[in-house]
Amino acid sequence: MSPCSVVLFCCVVVVVVGSNGIVHGFTSVPPSSSPPLLRVVKGGIRTHRPSLSPLSPHSYNHGSRRPLRMLLPANDSASHTRRVATRPTRLLRPTSGSSKGYPSRKFRVLSLAGRPDNNNDNDSKERRQFMLDPVTQTFDHVTKSVQESVENARTRLEQLLRFLPAPLRNFYRAFFEKLHAWKGFLVSFTAGAFLATAAIIYPIYASVESLSQPVTLFETILGDLEQAYVEEVDTNKLFETGIAAMLRSLDPYTEFEAAQEAVALTESIEGRYGGVGLVIAGTPRAAAEPKSNANQLLPAAAQSDTASQEDTERNRNTMSNVMTEEEEDEYMDRKEQRKALEKARKQGIRVVTAFEGYAFDYGLRVGDKLLAIDDKPLTADTTVEDVRNMLRGQPGTLVSIEFNRDGVDDVQTVTMPRAVVRLRDVKLATLVGSPRDGIGYIQLSGFTSNAGAEMRQAITYLQQRTLDATNGDKSLQGLVLDLRGNPGGLLTSAVDVASLLVPNGSDIVSARGRGFPGMLYRSRVDPILNPNTKLAVLVNGQTASAAEIVAGAVQDLDVGVIVGADRSFGKGLVQNVEELPFNTALKFTVAKYYTPSGRCIQGVNYKGGGGLKEENGGYIASKVADADRKVYYTKAGRMVRDGGGVEADYKIEAPKASALEVTLLRSGMFNEYAAEWSKTHMLTNNFAVDEDIYRNFIAFVDQKQKTGDIELDALYSRPLSDLKKALKRSGYKGAEKEVEVLQANIVREVQKDFDKYRKDIKEDISQGILARYLPESMLIERGMKNDAQVEAAIKLVANKNTFDKILAQGNTAERMGGANSLNMASGASAQSTSGVRATIQW
């Protein structure tokens, strides 16, 4: 027998023998020593040792441990029996005699300390002693039994030890002799373990307890509404509305994604889906299926799709006398929504973009109207979501699409295979100017999981083209990375892109939050961009999130110059996408991120709204004031600040669109005119928007204005309408008429912009027409040639002296030693992994 087996055997023997002794000690109480029971009789309390007969109403089964039944009249019900039995600490004394040996049903409470009347001290002492005797006897008996069991266990252990070798026997004897000395340690260890466990479990219990009440309340309210509301309710929509309102009170980025939205979110993160590569527009589901109260403020005639304009206006005037201002505003909003819905239904499902390599290669173009999918006709009530679901499917399967093109009489049909459509982040990578100059341009539109690989491929392509153009004499001299309008994407994709630009071992970004582990992302690869290549990064007010991580790393590590009008968006928050049951998801803010200098560029502070106290229960947002922005320093000592996005190092004002151009873009006039133009014209190689086309466009807009399809003063209509209402309430009729005159003057002033901004509007017309014939990459390249900011960035990277001077500004030893210089947030160094890509979104 091995020593381990002997030890195990001895431990089992000790436990079994000890437990048997203890059990024996508790179960071997003889009936003769059982504690006497108390019996209530007429005239006082007497000691009564119950009979062991099971027929006796007062029999006491010692082994069953049943509670003492203090008084059980013959006719008592079971409920009364339970009620009396649950109060064993009090006795009942009869107030009158009993019959047939049983007391009367009228009782008085008698304390265990003695009778309430005519008690002397001796009687009280005897009664207390009488009550304590059974307890004392039982305790003595149990103690004696335990001691005997321990002695028996020790004797048996000594007998077993005799069979062991002498060294092992001596070891066990020494162990048991010293066991009592370890008593304090064992007690302390046990107490410490208990307290540590309590310290861990209690916060969890408290957290669960704090959540149980609101969850139960929410479930109760939802159940009550489902069962007893005056009309039948859709609990799913009601639940989503409640959840959306709750999350909306935190910040604009925390959202609950239902099944359909969760699928779209996953596709945007992964950058691929199974389909044909089309972006379509038409009737949205929200418009096709309005909520029950959507038309409550509309007159009966306006609720019908066939109602005339005259009926609508007449009913509106009738109702205006009883409407409040808020109701009238809501009515006007509903009217505009209805007009947009009717326009969308009339236009049907139209192609907005056809991706190269997919639907574009099979002949579909911008503006095509889809008529049927797999021989299933598309009606006026068919929504964009319905068509999208028809086009999506398993890669490799075929789908048939019938469509109509403006200017072509016949219906066209194309059958194409579904494929894994990859949403490209790099929209364009090209050399600008002469290839021998070696100046490259890359437009990066997002940060899906493929962004790093696409950027690496684009930079390699530009480097190779430069080498080919110069016969290997010159490498890529400058690169313009365009991040304007880039809304962001995945954190790890931003790290991947930045790693291609910054030195190996450089800190790129860190993130930390209340429940988010502190993480530091550091480059682990050599940059693919040559350090001698001048890098300019274009940003604007729509450059956000992951795009700002790249821009912030480039700026803080002094590897490039930030070019733009002012600053980026200023979103320094991290969102986690957590999968939920039933194919849903929750996107919620978990942390803030910090650039290599240690600054957080979040421009707006959010805090939870005040519930019903705040308007709509929304979040409370406060912009970071310039006076509160702290100063940090880049690696070379340049001064930068937090709390407001990434500021441009080299500022170039972007051309501003006129009010007329904005109105035309929002109303879709350029696309509608392109559809009309394509009906009677063919695109030629030397196409350009001449004066004839421009005059024809002005006449087209004028006709749309007369029919009410466009209002040139749309940007000012709501403020002017509010002003007219205020003047009407005040009784200023003269001033009200002057506002109407002002409104007419505004229309005339806007019309003058056709001459003032002729060049810009012509370019918009040209883009609208060419979009029906050219792929997206060619449109971007064509628009880049007329971009003032791109042109300025190209000149900057080509001018070595100006570029180096910007990066050298403020490069002093005093600033290099600042407390905020490259002060990254502490955290674990981490490389980007596919697992992080699936859960973290910026």
Strand stretches in 263-327, DSSP E: 272-275, 278-281
Contact 168, 6 (CB under 8 A): yes
Paired with 370 in beta bridges are 349, 403
Quick one: how far is CA 379 from the chain centroid? 36
Of 563, 528, 569, 564, the residue nearest 546 (C-alpha) = 569
Instruction: Quote the CA–CA distance of 776 and 360 in Å, as a whole number.
Output: 10
Instruction: Quote the CA–CA distance of 524 and 600 in Å, as a whole number.
Output: 23
Residue of 449, 523, 545, 678 with catalytic role: 545
Contact 274, 418 (CB under 8 A): yes
Give the amino acid at 274. G
Question: Contacts by 522-525 with C-beta closer than 8 Å and gap 24+?
Answer: 522/829, 522/830, 522/831, 523/495, 523/498, 523/499, 524/499, 524/831, 525/499
Instruction: Quote the CA–CA distance of 566 and 766 in Å, as a whole number.
Output: 29
545 annotated active-site: yes
In angstroms and rounded to an integer, the radius of gyration of the C-alpha atoms of the chain is: 42
Residue of 556, 558, 753, 787 with catalytic role: 556
Antiparallel, parallel or unpaired: β 534-538 and 478-482: parallel
237 annotated active-site: no
Instruction: Quote the CA–CA distance of 731 and 737 in Å, as a whole number.
Output: 12
Instruction: Quote the CA–CA distance of 320 and 524 in Å, as a whole number.
Output: 68
Residue of 571, 587, 704, 724 with catalytic role: 571
CA end-to-end span of the chain: 65
Instruction: Quote the CA–CA distance of 53 and 522 in Å, as a whole number.
Output: 85
Contact 540, 567 (CB under 8 A): no
- Placement of tokens 């400058």 in the chain: 478
Burial class (CB in 10 A: 0-12, 13-18, 19+), 282: buried
Burial class (CB in 10 A: 0-12, 13-18, 19+), 562: buried
3-state DSSP assignment of residue 57: coil
Alpha-carbon separation of residue 157 from 11, 31, 142, 180 (angstroms): 10, 32, 22, 17
Contact 475, 463 (CB under 8 A): yes
Instruction: Quote the CA–CA distance of 562 and 539 in Å, as a whole number.
Output: 7
Strand stretches in 127-277, DSSP E: 255-257, 272-275
* 239 HSE (CA, 13 A, CB side): 13
556 annotated active-site: yes
Which positions are catalytic?
545, 556, 571
